[in-house]
Chains A and B, each alone.
Chain A
Amino acid sequence: MGMIEIISLSKWFGDFQVLKDITDTVERGEVLVICGPSGSGKSTLIRCINRLEEYQQGKILIEGLDIHGRDVDVNELRTHIGIVFQQFNLYPHLTVLKNITLAPVKVKGVPKAGAERLALELLERVGIHDQARKYPAELSGGQQQRVAIARALAMKPKVMLFDEPTSALDPEMINEVLNVMKDLARDGMTMLCVTHEMGFAREVADRVIFMDGGIILEEAPPEEFFSKPKHERAQAFLREIL
């Protein structure tokens, strides 16, 4: 049984079909990189997994449980799935520390002191423990994104989703975020990353899928995908970004 099983998933925005009968299984501890041109449905696909997007057909199972099952509490479900967004989406009115402790305290009922200890540990892990009392606007983009990763990890998720986590960053800040993601991958986190960072994919991905027009056009281990992509669209895409 895979960690995440996506079965014949289809989704429409009005008349436009963004996802066309997608099927895939992500194993526990697997790092999956999803790439493809914009509008190919890759962000929508991962956003379906924590029900930020609804879908019309198909199923998604997490550890065998249908995420739209009758006794699934969506808030409980989401505590197991961390997500990191392109635009960080930190809470601007709260300090870094509060950004991280909010959900553990309010959702899981972790005592404040314990939540803060965990938050500081996580900040240490992403390399910015000295910024805990600052507000997001006082941090650089790379630091903000690392806070966002810490915020997601604070819920101790089973799966982490990354939705183009480095696309909004200045080039010199991309690596600090990728390094944190690589550490996570090596620690055995199950990760689904929508990204065009091919260096990252080569280094830590177990598998790369290439999406276009709402379908998975190609799926391969990174070496194979980069050296001899089978599909013409994938070849063209790789020529563009490499």
Chain B
Amino acid sequence: MAYTFDWKLVLGGEYGGWIVQGLATTLKISALAIFCSLALGTLIAVLRLTRMRPLVWFSVAFTEFFRNTPLLVQIFFWYFGSYSVLPEVVNKWLYRQDFEFAAGVIALTVYTAAFIAEDIRSGIFAIPKTQIEASRATGLSFLQSMRFVILPQAFRIIIPPLISQFLNVVKNSSLVMTIGVMDLTYMTRQIESYTFHGFEAFTVATLIYLAISLVVSFTVNIYNKRVLKLIPY
């Protein structure tokens, strides 16, 4: 018996609504993870450049641990294992929120931050040391020099690898369905099991992921060209 395609089934009605819900969750979890991993990654990168040994060790350990273990394992770790390591207050708070969602954001953030930290570090190394010297010589502290002189220049250099990291977050976010976060992939599977129209459902999901990635990539590139081109150097 030939398979009859039914695109309307997944594009409209109740199932279409599921896809929209899933998409909203995917966008939310990706945006949160991108924002948090950028902040955490910057912190980890800067810690490594301080002269304080424990901070440097922490930064190295963090990076090596989280980028060298599978993301899926980390997701399970935060979901099943975080209860025993996190403080009671944090656990209570997390359970009052959407715990699956929170575990997903934490896993994605920590994993991605490890990669972003390395990108930022390479960006910082690309800035001449004389920039630190010049700024420190006027009395700026190490952190001020990082904040106002080094990082703004470093970020500009690492925009291309950063885009890749952002795209990875969007795609990696599909793994959080394994702990029950109802993201785009989760919803698509759900449609498949209700309707057996997996081909249509997953085609739509694929195109949506592609569209998100292209939008992210274009937006950052335009920002890079339009805004940063104003500064000639």
For chain B, residues 4 to 20, give those with C-beta under 8 angstroms from any C-beta of chain A.
Answer: none
Q: Report which of B144, B152, B231 forms a contact with A107, defined as CB distance below 8 A.
A: B144
**Is A103 a contact partner of B138 (Cβ separation < 8 A)?**
yes
What is the minimal beta-carbon distance from A150 to any residue of chain B, in angstroms? Answer: 12
Q: Report which of A50, A90, A102, A138 forms a contact with B232, defined as CB distance below 8 A.
A: A138
A93 vs B137: C-alpha distance when bound (angstroms): 18
* Chain A residues within an 8 Å CB radius of B128: 89
Q: Which partner residue on chain A sits nearest B147 by CB separation?
A: A106
Instruction: Count B interface residues, CB 8 Å.
Output: 21
A124 vs B121: C-alpha distance when bound (angstroms): 39
Q: Which partner residue on chain B sits nearest A50 by CB separation?
A: B137
Q: Is B39 an interface residue (CB 8 A)?
A: no
Q: Report which of A52, A87, A102, A137 forms a contact with B137, defined as CB distance below 8 A.
A: A52
A85 vs B130: C-alpha distance when bound (angstroms): 9
Q: Is A92 an interface residue (CB 8 A)?
A: yes
The verdict on A83 contacting B144 (CB below 8 Å), with A91-B131, A93-B231, A137-B233 known, is: no
The residue among B130, B134, B136, B138 with the most chain A CB atoms within 10 A of its own CB is B138
What is the minimal beta-carbon distance from A50 to any residue of chain B, in angstroms? Answer: 6
The verdict on A83 contacting B137 (CB below 8 Å), with A91-B131, A93-B233, A135-B233 known, is: yes
Q: Is B140 an interface residue (CB 8 A)?
A: yes
- What DSSP secondary structure best describes chain B's contact surface? helix
**Is A89 a contact partner of B133 (Cβ separation < 8 A)?**
yes
**Is A75 a contact partner of B140 (Cβ separation < 8 A)?**
yes
Q: Which partner residue on chain B sits nearest A88 by CB separation?
A: B134
Q: Is B139 an interface residue (CB 8 A)?
A: yes
The residue among A83, A92, A102, A137 with the most chain B CB atoms within 10 A of its own CB is A92
1/0 per residue, CB under 8 A from A, across B103-146: the answer is 00000000000000000000000001011011111111100100
The verdict on A78 contacting B231 (CB below 8 Å), with A89-B131, A91-B149 known, is: no
**Is A76 a contact partner of B231 (Cβ separation < 8 A)?**
no
Q: Is A152 an interface residue (CB 8 A)?
A: yes
Q: Is A155 an interface residue (CB 8 A)?
A: yes
A86 vs B233: C-alpha distance when bound (angstroms): 19
**Is A152 a contact partner of B138 (Cβ separation < 8 A)?**
yes
**Is A102 a contact partner of B138 (Cβ separation < 8 A)?**
yes
The verdict on A78 contacting B144 (CB below 8 Å), with A87-B130, A135-B233, A137-B232 known, is: no
A-B contact pairs, 23 of them (CB 8 A): A75-B136, A75-B140, A76-B139, A78-B136, A79-B139, A82-B138, A83-B137, A89-B128, A89-B131, A89-B133, A92-B231, A92-B233, A93-B156, A93-B231, A102-B138, A103-B138, A103-B139, A106-B144, A106-B148, A135-B232, A136-B233, A137-B232, A155-B139
Closest 3 CB pairs of A and B: A103-B138, A89-B134, A79-B139
Contacts from A to B (Cβ < 8 Å): 50, 52, 75-76, 78-79, 81-83, 85, 87, 89-93, 102-103, 106-108, 135-138, 151-152, 155
